[in-house]
Amino acid sequence: MLDFFKKYKGFTIALVVVIAIIIAFFFLNFDFDLSQEKASYAQQIHENNTTLFTDYLSVIEEVGKLDQNDTLEDDYTASMKDDVLWLMEKEKNIYSSNPRSEVFSKEVAITMLVQAIMQVNSDYMLATGETNYNEKINEALTLEIKQLKLLTTEEITSTFPTETDKKIYFEQLDLLWREYFNSKISVIKISSSTERKYIEARKLIWMTQYYVE
């Protein structure tokens, strides 16, 4: 995969930029003493995420047009594309959901999950060395779904104005994570490609770095 990283430098640079944009955008300290309301922040996050997904997908499509003689590289690109399409659909559903008072917290939840998934995709691209595919696949199939910790206590306090907003954030993050986790397990179980099974397995294993201790 290191050769893939070197070969498609433009893609990897774009990926790093995408992650940087997410981090820079999100970790602004939301100040609800200002006249702006949660609805305004939710709209900003939604528009940012939508642009992010569109640009990310465009880069992946360009990479997909290049000759890839390695099955692992091809399946890795396909996995990333599936991630983006899945996240795009979730983002669309969240922003159009009701009650509107909950959209802000839900938008924060999906934004944080986006950051984690893209970071794992980026980390995977940099991975080198021989790996026992079946060992990783079997390990992933034994994983438990646990709570993700994507924000510190201080960040949660400074981001959400009420306990209800915090509760909605945690519930939405948990729901999205469970759906993502189960979608990857399904791919591992039904895919005919050992390489694709391995890619999804390794990504799930790496996502456990975000588990609450």
Between CA 11 and CA 6 the distance in angstroms is 10
Summarised one tens digit per residue, pLDDT across range 128-178 is 566 789 999 999 999 999 999 998 898 898 888 889 999 999 999 999 999
Mean pLDDT throughout 62-78? 76
Q: Are 18 and 141 in contact (CB under 8 A)?
A: no
**For residue 71, what pLDDT band results from cuts at 50, 70 and 90?**
confident
Mean pLDDT throughout 171-199? 96
Average pLDDT, the chain: 83
Q: Are 213 and 153 in contact (CB under 8 A)?
A: no
pLDDT at 11: 53
Contacts of 76 (CB under 8 A, 6+ apart): 1, 4, 124, 125, 199
pLDDT at 131: 75
Q: At residue 6, what is the residue type? A: K
Residue among 125, 114, 85 nearest 177 (CA): 114
The residue with greater pLDDT, 70 or 176, is: 176
pLDDT at 89: 97
Matching residue, tokens 């070197």: 6
Percent with pLDDT over 90 in the chain? 50
Q: Residue 15 above 70 pLDDT?
A: no
